[in-house]
Amino acid sequence: LNEKLDYMENLGIVGFEPNGRNLAARVNELEQALRGRNIRVSAICAGFEGFILAEDPAVKAQFDSTMREIIAAAGAIGSPGVIMVPAFNGQKPCKPHTFETRQYLCEELFKLGEYAKECGTTVILEPLNRRECFYLRLVGDAAAICRDTNSEGVKCMGDFWHMQEETSDYAALLAAGPEYLQHVHMASRGKRRMPGEDGELDNYVEGFRALKQMGYDKYVSFECGCSGDPEILVPAAVELLRSQWELA
Ligand code: MG
């Protein structure tokens, strides 16, 4: 962990996004590792068991208890949020995609959001692409769920990889706006590797323009693999992010 943080610090990276699995037991370790550094926890990425739209009450209960434990730990280490997906396509049995389920989702998210607020953090809905999560694919839809949930503890995010679903990066991020947009993921837009590995496909300028216009002051986090030499590709990706941000 310390080597990783040293490497990040050398590149001028200021946010670190750990996975939520077993987070409660890692709070101390993470606090120690971040002490005296210019790096903060940018978000906690999932790590819970079960899922919020599970039909089986036991699976839903598993989600509630593990997610709440992660939320409490996230608040303790000062993370601005915990990322979650309502249901992956493979998670079954799942509540049907109906009006009633949407109502149910808002009610359940409200309880979770209020709990997150008490803990000093938020829950962040992440839309994915249709192959992974048919239920939630668009940033604007995630933002509308936040609005209808009406809890300050419920936010959403955009992931440039999944945003292949969107017709416009600019419109998608602006639709969420400063009120709901809490986090952003990026990856190369062909193979989900380091930004830059897919050449001209890796254009984030329109999305960044929306972020700049709304005064976005949160994190843009790399969530991707690397198919070549990381000593070359990782610094190049950080440079690409900075130059495209400048350009936007
Ligand atoms: Mg993501």
Distance 159 CA to ligand 1 centre (A): 5
Distance 138 CA to ligand 1 centre (A): 13
Distance 160 CA to ligand 1 centre (A): 8
Tokens read off for 64:
């509630």
Beta carbons within 10 angstroms of residue 139's beta carbon: 31
- Give Dmax (Cα) for the chain: 50
Tokens read off for 170:
């600019």
Separation of alpha carbons 209 and 194, rounded Å: 21
Residue 222, strand partner residues: 186
Given pLDDT bands bounded at 50, 70 and 90, which one contains residue 72?
Answer: very high
Distance 65 CA to ligand 1 centre (A): 23
Distance 164 CA to ligand 1 centre (A): 12
Separation of alpha carbons 58 and 67, rounded Å: 14
Tokens 């991020």, residue?
173
Distance 182 CA to ligand 1 centre (A): 13
- Using CA atoms of 80, 86, 91, 96 in order, give the dihedral in degrees to the nearest 10: 170
For 63-109, strand residue ranges (E) read 82-84
- What's the confidence (pLDDT) of residue 85? 98
Cβ contact 19:70 at 8 Å: no
Enter the pTM of the model: 0.97
Question: What amino acid occupies position 32?
Answer: Q
Residue 54, strand partner residues: 94
Given pLDDT bands bounded at 50, 70 and 90, which one contains residue 86?
Answer: very high
Given pLDDT bands bounded at 50, 70 and 90, which one contains residue 197?
Answer: very high
Distance 242 CA to ligand 1 centre (A): 20
Identify the three-state secondary structure at position 236: helix
* pLDDT tens-digit readout, 152-180: 999 999 999 999 999 999 999 999 999 99
Q: Average pLDDT for residues 84-89, to the nearest whole number?
A: 97
Distance 235 CA to ligand 1 centre (A): 20
Separation of alpha carbons 121 and 54, rounded Å: 24
Separation of alpha carbons 117 and 192, rounded Å: 32
Preceding omega of 93 cis (within 30 degrees of 0):
yes
Q: In what order do the strands lie in the sheet with 82-84?
A: 44-45, 82-84, 123-125, 154-159, 181-186, 220-222
The residues, any chain, with a CB within 8 Å of residue 69's CB and separated by 6 or more, are 23, 24
- What's the confidence (pLDDT) of residue 191? 96
Separation of alpha carbons 54 and 67, rounded Å: 14
